[in-house]
Amino acid sequence: MQLSELKVSYGQSYLAQNQQSARASIAVASPKDSQLAVKGVAAVIADSTWRNVMAKQASEISVRGFIADYYSTPDNWNVKTSAKKVLSALNSWLFAQNSKLANGSYISSMSALLLRGQQAHLFHMGDTLVYRLRGADCQLLNIEHTTFLGGYRYPSRAMGMNPSLDIDYLNFSIRQGDLFLFTTQAVKGTLVPSDFVQLIGRFSEDLNLTCDEILKRAIEKASRRGYSSYNFCFQLLRVDQLPQIAEEALGEVYSNLPVPPELQSGDELDGYQVIKVLSRSATSRIYKVFDAATDRHLVLKAPSPQLARKKEFITHFIMQQWVVERVSSPYVARVVDLSRPRKQLYYLMEYVEGRTLEQWLIDNPDADIKVRVDLIEQITKAIRALHRREILHQNLTPQNIMVDRLGVIKLVDFAACGVVKMADLPPLLTLARRVGLTAYSAPEYRLGQEPNERADQFSIAALAFEMLTKKLPYAEQLEGLSSKVDFSNLDYVPSFQINPNLPVWIDLPLRKALQLNPELRYRRLSEFIYDLKKPRESLLDESTNEIKPLNFWKGFAGFLLLLLLLSLFY
């Protein structure tokens, strides 16, 4: 039983020569109630590279992104697993953004200290510095990773620098009164550990004042030594009280939760009353429930009881909640915070009042083309929101999309979602095949090729084709194909031939996004939806060039028919 909780206090001080030169960010997060026991306290520092026009943005994204995503990880992931997965995902996103920048970069050194129970977990990348002060002892806890280029010193192994992240990890016990000092490389050459011990000893009652005094001393020494510029950043974190709880008990918080049994209307689970069974699949159970505590209807998703002993499926289910919580979009159903501690394994999502896209299409067979294109654009925006977080959907179908009463779509199923190049998680191809391929799945899934964002593009285009023509592309033959030879024999039938009411030009973006070779599809989803809404001159030229040969042969055939008729009379 926990007799007390972890309590900390902290102070900060930061000064850059000007706003443009600022390149470091610091933060401390100390949640309340169960989150404090499950996730603990987080203290983070990030510092970007010198002469980087994106330095401030790089460090701020690293700090804020890590804290937000760490506290959103599943409750039954331990500290090390949660932090490493979040850091890897954040690094992948930063690295991907760097390829899109003409100037500057999202490269940043970073150190994150997580305190939970009576243990500390330090994660370090690059050249930021973390000291522990225990009495008169001041110890540097991490290793500075730096390299020299053109006579200048730069961090190495930093966030956003490489597609894979090399993380230094240190785990140790903490004591009441321990102080942790976070700072940047700029302090090197000004203050030494004995300065920190002296200043902290004199001003330890007020940690903000302590940081201010350390900052003043650093500026004074920098001025004496003729530094032309400085970028000093200090953050102090003190352990004021340790929880009286065994580490083993902490490790059991929200872990090893049992899978709920089969539920029926009228049953209750942790106080949530089941109103309706929405879905029973091989991997999950989805229920509409009512939460009396908040007076609202929600969707409760739990693993299939048959999977209770299959660790890989349970791990994937736990990951789903974390994946969806990382996405913020009006077109993606939100994960809802629990109003009470859960005793079984499930998660809650907002309930969307509406109907599936499949049912909407049945109910609106004569809907205007513009209305259908608007729905396609919303679906595209939803998938783009996932892609911005390096997530692939991989299972886009009309049954997985809801249309509410205002005509707004919501993605509501994430069973096959996965993070691109995420270490320690199942490959994307494995996740997609585990859930099952459909007529909307891109060819690369059947060919055993690891997918990328263009695989979701194919699925959107297949949906769009069906919404505009009431037929699936490639005459519904994709499901039975398994080799490149099979796919090479497929013939694409233009959408305007199936639905004569469609303009000819609208088929060009559909055809491009439905290319069997992913390299021939659009580079960006935004280009696809732009072309689908408003034809560019180049597209009109292409459509005109396609129509001209057809008109020529029609005219030529008519001319031959006329000659034949004339020969019969003469």
% of the chain exceeding 90 in pLDDT: 54
Pull the structure tokens for residue 193: 């550990």
| List of residues 6+ apart from 207 with CB closer than 8 A | 9, 10, 11, 236, 238
How many residues are present in the chain? 570
The SS3 assignment for 308 reads coil
The whole-number pLDDT of residue 540 equals: 47
The strand pair at 354-356 and 347-350 is best described as unpaired
Is domain 354-535 given the CATH code 1.10.10.10 in the classification?
Answer: no
Domain locations in the chain? 7-250, 258-350, 354-535, 542-570
Say if pTM beats, i.e. exceeds, 0.85. no
The whole-number pLDDT of residue 543 equals: 46
- For the domain covering 258-350, report its CATH number: 3.30.200.20
Q: Are the beta carbons of 269 and 341 closer than 8 angstroms? A: no
Q: Which long-range contacts (CB under 8 A, 24 or more apart) does 459-463 make?
A: 459/393, 459/394, 459/396, 460/376, 460/379, 460/380, 460/383, 460/396, 460/513, 460/525, 460/528, 461/509, 461/510, 461/513, 461/514, 461/528, 462/514, 463/357, 463/376, 463/379, 463/396, 463/397, 463/398
- SS3 labels along 213-255: HHHHHHHHHHHHCCCCCCEEEEEEEEEEECCCCCHHHHHCCCC
Look up the CATH superfamily of 7-250. PPM-type phosphatase domain (3.60.40.10)
Q: Are the beta carbons of 209 and 163 closer than 8 angstroms? A: no
Burial class (CB in 10 A: 0-12, 13-18, 19+), 197: middle
* Per-residue model confidence as pLDDT tens digits over 3-21: 468 999 999 998 865 555 6
The whole-number pLDDT of residue 37 equals: 81
In the predicted structure, residue 251 carries a pLDDT above the cut 70: no
The strand pair at 41-48 and 108-116 is best described as antiparallel
Nearest-CA neighbor of 20 among 65, 50, 64? Answer: 50
* Per-residue model confidence as pLDDT tens digits over 529-569: 999 988 654 444 544 444 455 565 666 666 677 777 767 76
Work out the mean pLDDT of the chain and round it to a whole number.
86
Nearest-CA neighbor of 398 among 337, 452, 449, 466? Answer: 466
Pull the structure tokens for residue 520: 């021939």
* Per-residue model confidence as pLDDT tens digits over 190-247: 888 999 999 998 887 899 999 999 999 998 888 888 775 567 899 999 999 998 654 3
Q: Facing residues of 410 across strands?
A: 402
What angle, 0 to 180 degrees and rounded to 10, lies between the N-to-C axes of helices 428-435 and 311-325? Answer: 110
Q: Are the beta carbons of 94 and 107 closer than 8 angstroms? A: yes
Burial class (CB in 10 A: 0-12, 13-18, 19+), 468: buried
Other C-beta atoms within 10 Å of 141: how many? Answer: 18
Q: Which long-range contacts (CB under 8 A, 24 or more apart) does 536-543 make?
A: 539/505, 539/508, 539/509, 540/505, 542/508, 543/504, 543/505, 543/507, 543/508
* Per-residue model confidence as pLDDT tens digits over 490-533: 888 999 999 999 999 999 999 999 999 999 999 999 999 999 98
Q: Are the beta carbons of 58 and 299 closer than 8 angstroms? A: no
* Per-residue model confidence as pLDDT tens digits over 84-101: 999 999 999 999 999 888
- Side chain identity at residue 227, one-letter code: Y
- Rounded Cα gap, residues 156 and 509, in angstroms: 43
* Domains 7-250 and 258-350 belong to one CATH topology: no
**CA atoms 368, 371, 376, 377: torsion sign:** positive
In the predicted structure, residue 106 carries a pLDDT above the cut 80: yes
The whole-number pLDDT of residue 474 equals: 87
Band (pLDDT 50/70/90 cuts) for residue 301 is very high
Question: What is the Cα Rg of the chain in Å?
Answer: 29
% of the chain exceeding 70 in pLDDT: 87
Q: Torsion-angle region of residue 272: left (phi > 0), alpha (psi -120 to 50) or beta? A: beta
- Rounded Cα gap, residues 485 and 102, in angstroms: 41
In the predicted structure, residue 146 carries a pLDDT above the cut 90: no
The whole-number pLDDT of residue 1 equals: 37
Burial class (CB in 10 A: 0-12, 13-18, 19+), 271: middle
Nearest-CA neighbor of 237 among 275, 204, 267? Answer: 204
* Per-residue model confidence as pLDDT tens digits over 388-416: 888 899 999 999 999 999 999 999 999 89
In the predicted structure, residue 342 carries a pLDDT above the cut 90: no
Other C-beta atoms within 10 Å of 352: how many? Answer: 21
* Per-residue model confidence as pLDDT tens digits over 362-390: 999 999 999 999 999 999 999 999 998 88
More confident position, 222 or 22: 222
Which range (84-88, 141-145, 280-284) has the least confidence?
280-284
